[in-house]
Amino acid sequence: MENIKDSIENIFDQHNQIKPFLKKNINVNETEDQLDIIIKLGFTFKNLEQNYKNMITECLNNIDKKINISLELDVVSHKTQGTTQSIKNVKNIIAVASGKGGVGKSTVACNLSIALHQLGARVGILDADIYGPSQPLMFGSNKKPESRDGKSMEPIISHGIQTMSIGYLIDTDTPVVWRGPMVTNTLQQLLNETNWDNLDYLIIDLPPGTGDTQLTLAQKVPVTGSVIVTTPQDVALIDAQKGIGMFDKVNIPNIGLVENMAVFECPNCGHHEHIFGEDGGKTLAAKNNILLLGSIPLNAMIQKKMDSGAPPLLDNENPSINEAFLSIAEKVSIKIAQMKENFKDKFPKIVIQKD
């Protein structure tokens, strides 16, 4: 049994540059003519499943028995910065950020959450842009959150995602004219007073910049890692670099970078034009030694879908765009699975009392 587990653990996924199978997560049951293998994986593997099963079968081709292989998703909580305490029913928090507004950060956050969900994970999204919430429109929902106890709120479920936004609580045309402390207090309330339901990943769609909201996130919210969104043009790359530097400074790992609006796709002739420059995201990722998670084209279909509350992943109108978002989500999940597990909340709290 141990030899079989050792062999499986040593399998190397060349494409993702990882050893996907941990010995402690491999369970082997052997009978006279059959081998049943059950493996728990800490990342979404829906698009990798058949390939992984083929790798295991090939690895064990010297065994003259029928081999049954079952892969199960088992996402665990991973290490977060400082002494921040975990959020109830949330295993991992992913901050999606950009240094500059208008680069499509909220679009990427929305589609990242849906892609992770389609790959099998339980996912939520918190719209942390208090001044300009976008997620209610993108998720096509304008419901008011319910409260069962008068103290907490139920997330709004849309397209299978648990969502929460200040946009659900105020009128669409009502401006939020608040000072910094009110904004940060609201963010903490939305995060901590929402009854999240057993989330593998909670996506936080941050406002642009490196201000109060980002500082509150770094100091008080247990963030597993960040995803930076940029366009290829220099004016966006300059601010994206500041975002990368900010997360480095507060000890939040940079999971990777998404290059949005990478190339314009003409809807009539299919011609591709790099109107915002070429390979800016690739260059920035290499400069900072972080992963380029993927590139999303500038396509009018994405804008129409997002404005209608039906993100492109909900149908297969443009398979290449769907594949790009799913690939990004897969890489994010794999990257998080490679991080150290979170043991902070597994130790008992020691309280010293005076008699």
For residue 67, the domain's CATH number is: 3.30.300.130
Residue 344 counted as domain residue: no
* Coil/strand/helix, residue 224: coil
- Structural domain span for residue 131: 90-337
- The answer to whether residues 238 and 138 belong to one domain is yes
User: For residue 267, is pLDDT > 90?
Assistant: no
- The answer to whether residues 203 and 315 belong to one domain is yes
Residue 110 has which token pair?
A: 């929305």
Q: Is 103 annotated as a binding residue?
A: yes
- The answer to whether residues 64 and 101 belong to one domain is no
Please check whether residue 180 is in contact with residue 209, taking contact to mean a CB–CB distance below 8 angstroms: no
Of the two residues 88 and 215, the one the predictor is more confident about is 88
Residue 342 counted as domain residue: no
Please check whether residue 281 is in contact with residue 248, taking contact to mean a CB–CB distance below 8 angstroms: no
- The answer to whether residues 42 and 189 belong to one domain is no
Report the number of distinct structural domains present in the chain. 2
Of the residues 73, 105, 132, the one at which a domain ends:
73
Q: What are the residues whose beta carbons fall under 8 Å from the beta carbon of 74, sequence distance 6 or more?
A: 25, 40, 41, 42
- The answer to whether residues 56 and 111 belong to one domain is no
- The answer to whether residues 111 and 31 belong to one domain is no
Over residues 279-293, the mean pLDDT reads 95
- The answer to whether residues 202 and 279 belong to one domain is yes
- The answer to whether residues 109 and 188 belong to one domain is yes
Over residues 2-29, the mean pLDDT reads 92
Q: Is 28 annotated as a binding residue?
A: no
One-letter amino acid at 195 equals N
Residue 314 counted as domain residue: yes
Q: Is 280 annotated as a binding residue?
A: no
Residue 351 has which token pair?
A: 């309280």
**CATH number assigned to the domain comprising residue 269:** 3.40.50.300
Residue 16 counted as domain residue: yes
- The answer to whether residues 150 and 251 belong to one domain is yes
Q: What are the residues whose beta carbons fall under 8 Å from the beta carbon of 176, sequence distance 6 or more?
A: 130, 131, 166, 170, 183
Q: Is 140 annotated as a binding residue?
A: no
* Mean pLDDT rounded to a whole number for the chain: 91
Residue 54 counted as domain residue: yes
User: For residue 317, is pLDDT > 70?
Assistant: yes
Residue 79 counted as domain residue: no
Of the residues 46, 73, 100, the one at which a domain ends:
73
- The answer to whether residues 185 and 106 belong to one domain is yes
Q: Is 100 annotated as a binding residue?
A: yes
Task: Output the CA torsion 165→171→175→178 (10° steps).
Answer: -50
Residue 354 counted as domain residue: no
Per-residue burial over 329-355, b = 16 or more CB atoms within 10 Å of its CB, e = otherwise: bbbbbbbbbebeebeeeeeeeeeeeee
Over residues 315-324, the mean pLDDT reads 92
- The answer to whether residues 333 and 200 belong to one domain is yes
Residue 316 counted as domain residue: yes
Q: Is 120 annotated as a binding residue?
A: no
What's the rounded Cα separation, in Å, for the pair 259 and 228?
Answer: 9
Of 148, 130, 138, nearest in space to 194 by CA: 148
Exposure on the CB side of residue 153, measured as CA atoms within 13 A: 21
User: For residue 235, is pLDDT > 80?
Assistant: yes
Q: Nearest 5 degrees, angle CA 310-CA 138-CA 222? A: 125
One-letter amino acid at 232 equals P
Of the residues 27, 47, 73, the one at which a domain ends:
73
Tokens 């996924």: give the residue: 13
Exposure on the CB side of residue 222, measured as CA atoms within 13 A: 21
- The answer to whether residues 64 and 156 belong to one domain is no
pLDDT tens for each residue of 53-108: 999 999 998 888 899 999 999 999 999 988 888 899 999 999 999 988 889 999 99
Of 232, 240, 222, nearest in space to 262 by CA: 232
Helices and strands counted in the chain (H then E): 10, 13
User: For residue 121, is pLDDT > 60?
Assistant: yes
Q: Which residues pair with 161 in a beta bridge?
A: 158
Of 119, 123, 24, nearest in space to 73 by CA: 119
